[in-house]
Chain A
């Protein structure tokens, strides 16, 4: 059971970037939900998107999530310098154990 993310993405301030998270059929099964976390340098992860599309209180609406079949995406609009971080998707495998994607490093040019 694997969640695959691109190792890195980049964009200039003000641009929009999308990070994909693709699951194998055994990990997504009947299409389990996907969640996203942001990890700033030297800090613990922070919940960014839960249950595919929902933002916790305090997360700017520049961050949005979507899911279709076995693929999910995190889109960051109006990119800012302080968005530079590692981003992880998370779901469950066929044993219902939690699994994380390998992480994507976002560089703001």
Chain B
């Protein structure tokens, strides 16, 4: 069955960087688009970014565009999110999620999430 395990969350100061990873298993990783979705404490879901199956196409929400970079290593079945210039408003649980197609459409599997706290 599909497994998505996020790691790399923690407490970081404003302006600093953090890199999240998501280890995927149970499916052919290189065939599917992958997303990052976040959820601030007590708030709703917010889509962050998507990367196509081949890694060539990447799209971002306006709130993170230019600060966050999504990438993937299909040889290691791993998805990444490089987060730079972090702000307090980026504090959230970050979910790694799988698309049922090669690029963004909807999400058919979710990881458990990793908490990122941006605070001085």
Cβ of A30 to closest chain B Cβ, rounded Å: 15
Residue of A nearest to B45 (CB): A100
Q: How large, as a class, is the contact surface on chain B?
A: 20 to 34
User: Chain A contact residues: over half helix, strand or loop, or mixed?
Assistant: strand
State whether A97 touches B61 (Cβ < 8 A).
yes
Q: How far is the CA of A93 from the CA of B31 in the complex (A)?
A: 24
- Measured as residues with beta carbon below 8 angstroms from the partner, the interface class of chain A is 20 to 34
Identify which of A37, A50, A51, A100 contacts B46 (C-beta below 8 A): A100
Known A44-B95, A44-B111, A103-B45: A35·B61 in contact at CB below 8 Å: no
Interface membership of chain B positions 98-120, coded 1 if the CB is closer than 8 angstroms to chain A and 0 otherwise? 00100011111111110000000
Contact of A44 among B61, B105, B108, B112 (CB under 8 A): B112
Using CB atoms and an 8 Å cutoff, list the residues of chain B in contact with chain A. Answer: 35, 37, 44-47, 50, 59-61, 95, 100, 104-113
List the interface of chain A (C-beta within 8 A of B): 33, 35, 37, 39, 44-47, 50-51, 56, 86, 88, 90, 92, 95-103
